[in-house]
């Protein structure tokens, strides 16, 4: 195949990778096409069947060797769950009166949460309460 066909195929495949939601599969085929196109342009590989064989071998080999570490590196920078445990010690404001042991709604960080009064005294509406810990999506609060 003509060398610039390989280059065009590689650029199309890389463009397709950019349009997909990050599976990192098409990337290696695009890079393989660019490598084979460069080799064909330099006259290193001129036979079509050898170009296709190299394209397939380079793409599959790079996919098997490089995709796992690349995906792991990308996921390392993304937090899977928000750090809600860091809310312990912050102040939440009940949106309704909370008796001792009662569950209701409270506001924290601009969001309404389910809150449980684990303190020794009741919390009134609008009275600040300190978050002792978070269990699931429930804030355990006590009087300040």
What b-and-e string marks burial along 94-107, b requiring 16 or more CB atoms within 10 Å of the CB? beeebeeeeebebe
Would you say 54 and 27 are in contact if contact means Cβ atoms under 8 Å apart?
no
**β-strand pairing of 138-143 with 111-117:** parallel
Would you say 36 and 58 are in contact if contact means Cβ atoms under 8 Å apart?
yes
Residue 50 contacts by C-beta under 8 Å, 6 or more apart in sequence? none
Residue 78 CA to residue 99 CA, distance in Å, equals 39
Residue 138 contacts by C-beta under 8 Å, 6 or more apart in sequence? 103, 113, 114, 115, 116
The SS3 of residue 117 is: strand
Per-residue tens of pLDDT for the chain, all 144 residues: 899 999 999 999 999 999 988 788 999 999 999 999 999 999 999 999 999 999 999 999 999 999 999 988 888 766 555 555 578 889 999 999 999 989 999 999 888 999 999 988 999 999 999 999 888 889 999 987
Structure tokens at 85: 């445990």
Q: Is this structure's pTM higher than 0.85?
A: no
């Amino acid at each position: 195949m003509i060398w610039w066909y390989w280059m065009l195929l590689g650029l199309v495949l890389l463009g397709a990778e950019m349009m997909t939601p990050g599976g990192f599969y098409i990337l290696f085929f695009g890079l393989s096409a660019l490598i084979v196109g460069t080799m064909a342009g330099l006259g290193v590989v001129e036979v079509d069947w050898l170009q296709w064989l190299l394209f397939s071998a380079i793409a599959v080999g790079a996919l098997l060797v490089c995709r796992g570490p690349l995906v792991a590196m990308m996921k390392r920078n993304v937090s899977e769950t928000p750090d809600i445990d860091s809310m312990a010690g912050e102040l939440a404001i009940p949106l309704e009166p909370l008796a001792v042991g009662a569950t209701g709604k409270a506001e924290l960080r601009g969001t309404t949460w389910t809150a449980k009064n684990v303190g020794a005294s009741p919390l009134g509406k609008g009275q600040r309460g300190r978050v002792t810990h978070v269990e699931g999506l429930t804030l355990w609060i006590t009087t300040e």
